[in-house]
Amino acid sequence: MDWIKRAHLLQSESGGSLMYKMKFVEFESERIMYRKFHKNDFTKVFSWHSDIENMGFRRDGTKTETETRKYLAWTISEANADECKNYWFAAVCKESNTLIGEAILLDVPEKPEIGWLVDKNNWQKGFGAEIGNALLYFAFDVLNLRLVIAACHVDNHASYKLMEKIGMRREAHFVKEKLYRDTWCDRLQYAILREEWDALYES
Ligand SMILES: CC(C)(COP(=O)(O)OP(=O)(O)OC[C@H]1O[C@@H](n2cnc3c(N)ncnc32)[C@H](O)[C@@H]1OP(=O)(O)O)[C@@H](O)C(=O)NCCC(=O)NCCS
């Protein structure tokens, strides 16, 4: 993971252990660079969020134009916070210089949860796993977090396969736990501890 640039960190004490709090920072992985979203990303973001293929397993489903503008504005304002708690990275393919997805790390440091979206024209090319690995690197090796979770609809095979591919372990299968639009659905939860992440990369 030495291909990801180190970030400038602000250290602070939290519950007796050293935590890192910081402003939003750009970083990169092998094929992808992670930056803030901009207002002019709207067209691409709306193409994803209005498409049921991309949003079918999101609890609120597709978004209208107004909802997408609100969502984009929220991701930008979170990224501009003095101490970022919700990282919403725009994932840009370095080779083509195009926006190919979203890399998400929420609820830092209380209950860090990662998530992802890849443009459907780029599915099954390993971009999702690259984003997932980069988010774990960012959470553990940059922010020094202890535990990261991820969750998805029980039928979202692509998402939970990705979680397994990046070393996360299934912790829970919640039955009819969340309302996805008008239906109560099962949800899977995965987790990984920092020591489990470290063990994956010990040589
Ligand atoms: C989930 C998502 C990000 C996966 O992105 P991706 O770039 O296709 O993922 P990868 O190519 O890195 O594949 C990761 C693993 O998942 C598997 N996978 C990908 N799509 C799959 C599918 N439709 N069905 C079953 N497995 C799938 C891959 O085979 C790979 O595992 P393997 O290497 O062991 O074979 C993408 O499908 C997506 O954006 N979906 C819509 C948004 C979404 O549902 N986000 C998650 C909300 S919880």
Task: Using alpha carbons, select from 203, 53, 29 the residue that is nearest to residue 131.
Answer: 29
* Average pLDDT value for the chain: 90
Convert the pLDDT of each residue in 8-27 to its tens digit: 343 444 444 455 568 899 99
* Percent of all residues in the chain with a pLDDT value above 70, rounded to a whole number: 89
Convert the pLDDT of each residue in 68-97 to its tens digit: 999 999 999 999 998 899 999 999 999 999
**Residue-level pLDDT at 181:** 84
**Residue-level pLDDT at 22:** 80
Q: Higher pLDDT residue, 38 or 5? A: 38
**Residue-level pLDDT at 39:** 97
Nearest-CA residue for atom 42 of ligand 1: 117
- Ligand 1 centroid to residue 170 C-alpha, Å: 16
Angle at 49 between CA 45 and CA 50, to 5 degrees: 115
- Ligand 1 centroid to residue 83 C-alpha, Å: 31
**Residue-level pLDDT at 5:** 36
Q: Residue 28 pairs with which residues in a beta bridge?
A: 33
Pocket-forming residues, ligand 1, beta carbon under 6 Å: 54, 57, 115-118, 123-129, 152, 156-159, 161-162, 165
| 131, 150 contact by CB (below 8 A) | no
Domain 22-200 is of which CATH architecture?
A: 3-Layer(aba) Sandwich (3.40)
Instruction: Name the one residue in this structure whose structure tokens are 């969502």.
Output: 71
**Residue-level pLDDT at 20:** 58
For the chain, which residues make up each domain, given as ranges?
22-200
Q: What does R_g of the chain's alpha carbons equal in angstroms?
A: 17
